[in-house]
């Protein structure tokens, strides 16, 4: 029998340990995205109605959605640079901590001013959590699996919003049914979210691991640049597209519930049912569609998804029945779910390991700018032009973004191996 090699055995043990740590880290990232997103479904549905009950106009509700991104927007590129310099883990833990503060503020709020403060804290928390989470995710997963991994991450965000809303809605309905009012139900729901996020913080502190920093020399997966600065400059066209898509998504965000209530029904249960199919699609579709982008190419899927979403948006004002609106929202959700994971994976494909945090900071900056401008534009258009105007704006912006994707000056040929880049030491075959 051949004698074993102690050095080889030690290397094998380290490799297995690193892979196990990578798997734990990926699962922790997915769970953190899920928990941090739990209140989002409640926001999309109840925040416009809750704010309007406090006397806010559609324009002011748009401002309430916009302020989520407005204050932390300038800090996002700095967060990205910080994660490249100091590591991903400290920022992820700081983001979870700020989410605890934000949910506690929501639980204590019964005035519009406190809601604005809570939205600012929540926006800061999202920047601190999501930018390093995307960077760490793409550190761990090779290029050929990034679309699927980012799609799963976004599925967990959307699924968290759906299930978290499913927990919060009964609390609000029960409080109102028993005569305690929507404020009591709102506070109870956010107490639950606060406790859940504290538990998630403890889990992340124990199980979140970061790979060695040799990733800093990893080249980009696309042959777009030969230097780090050129790699970041190559992001500029993609960031313009991200700005357009996030603006389009933000245009209709604050007015969907108002449009349903003003033109079809004020029955909250019916409104909830109309949103449910699209919410399910957003929770399920990004992972398989992200995997599809790994197979057929990012830009192709982005262009198809954005163009189709624009065509669907043009149909919303023409729909005569509320059930058809629910079907159209579900179709639009499929289109957006095809575009967004490919968009996020393309950011990592363009940039190497040393610039990945900075790249996602700039990506988040573009998304945040659109998320600020979109609700302001949508709320103003709903009040000052016509309630259908936000949908027509969507129908213009999304196809233009699809056209820009087609014209994007990035070489789509992958370089090197099938995986494109040298994976992190703890990259996993089963990351999808």
Would you give per-residue pLDDT tens digits along the chain (432 residues)?
445 554 444 444 344 344 444 568 888 999 999 999 888 877 767 777 777 766 777 677 777 777 776 666 767 777 878 888 888 889 999 999 999 999 999 888 767 788 888 888 888 898 889 888 888 888 888 777 888 888 888 888 888 888 887 787 777 777 666 666 667 777 888 888 999 999 999 999 988 887 765 444 455 555 444 445 665 677 778 888 888 888 888 888 777 777 887 788 777 777 778 888 888 888 788 888 888 888 888 888 889 999 999 899 899 888 888 888 888 888 988 998 888 888 888 887 777 666 777 778 888 888 878 877 888 888 888 888 888 888 898 889 899 988 988 887 654 444 333 333 333 333 333 333
Does residue 159 form part of some domain?
A: yes
Give alpha helix (H) positions in 55-142. Answer: 58-70, 75-86, 89-108, 112-140
Does residue 415 form part of some domain?
A: no
- Contacts for 86 with CB less than 8 Å, ≥ 6 apart: none
Does residue 171 form part of some domain?
A: yes
Locus of tokens 């934000």: 102
Q: Of 343, 339, 14, nearest to 146 (Cα)?
A: 343
Structural domain span for residue 106? 21-210+220-407
Does residue 368 form part of some domain?
A: yes
Tokens of 294: 């790994």
What distance lies between CA 203 and its chain's CA centroid?
A: 21
Does residue 310 form part of some domain?
A: yes
Does residue 98 form part of some domain?
A: yes
Domain tally for the chain? 1
Locus of tokens 């050095």: 7
Start-to-end C-alpha separation, the chain: 39
Does residue 9 form part of some domain?
A: no
State the CATH number of the domain containing residue 173: 1.20.1250.20
Angle between helices 40-53 and 268-284 (to 10 degrees): 150
Does residue 428 form part of some domain?
A: no
């Amino acid at each position: 029998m051949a004698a074993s090699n102690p050095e080889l055995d030690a290397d094998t043990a380290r490799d297995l340990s690193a892979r196990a740590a990578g798997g734990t880290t990926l699962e922790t990232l997915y769970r953190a995205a899920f928990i941090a997103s739990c209140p989002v479904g409640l926001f999309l549905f109840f925040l416009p109605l809750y704010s309007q009950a406090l006397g806010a106009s559609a324009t002011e509700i748009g401002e309430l959605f916009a302020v989520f991104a407005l204050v932390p927007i300038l800090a996002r590129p700095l967060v990205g640079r910080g994660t490249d310099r100091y590591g991903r883990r400290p920022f992820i833990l700081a983001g979870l901590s700020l989410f605890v503060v934000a949910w506690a503020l929501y639980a204590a709020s019964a005035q519009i001013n406190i809601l604005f403060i809570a939205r600012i804290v929540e926006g800061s928390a999202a920047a601190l959590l999501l930018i390093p989470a995307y960077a760490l995710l793409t550190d761990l997963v090779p290029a050929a699996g990034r679309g699927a991994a980012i799609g799963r991450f976004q599925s967990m965000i959307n699924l968290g919003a759906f299930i978290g809303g499913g927990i919060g809605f009964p609390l609000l309905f029960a409080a109102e049914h028993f005569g305690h009012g929507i404020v009591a139900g709102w506070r109870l729901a956010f107490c639950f979210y606060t406790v859940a996020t504290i538990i998630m913080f403890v889990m992340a502190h124990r199980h979140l691991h970061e790979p060695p920093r040799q990733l800093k020399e990893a080249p980009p997966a696309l042959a777009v640049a030969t230097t780090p600065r050129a790699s970041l400059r190559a992001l500029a066209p993609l960031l313009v597209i991200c700005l357009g898509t996030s603006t389009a998504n933000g245009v209709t965000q604050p007015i969907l519930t108002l449009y349903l209530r003003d033109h079809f029904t004020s029955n909250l249960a019916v409104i909830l049912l109309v949103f449910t199919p699209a919410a399910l699609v957003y929770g399920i579709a990004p992972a398989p569609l992200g995997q599809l982008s790994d197979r057929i190419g990012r830009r192709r899927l982005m262009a198809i998804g954005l163009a189709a979403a624009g065509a669907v948006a043009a149909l919303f004002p023409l729909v005569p029945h509320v059930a058809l609106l629910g079907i159209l929202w579900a179709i639009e959700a499929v289109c957006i779910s095809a575009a967004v994971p490919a968009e996020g994976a393309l950011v990592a494909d363009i940039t190497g390991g040393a610039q990945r945090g900075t790249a996602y900071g700039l990506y988040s900056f573009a998304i945040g700018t659109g998320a600020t401008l979109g609700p302001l534009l949508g709320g103003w258009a709903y009040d000052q032009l016509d309630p259908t105007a936000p949908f027509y704006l969507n129908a213009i912006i999304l196809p233009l973004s699809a056209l820009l994707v087609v014209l994007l000056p990035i070489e789509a040929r992958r370089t090197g191996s099938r995986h494109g880049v040298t994976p992190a030491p703890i990259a996993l075959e089963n990351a999808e």
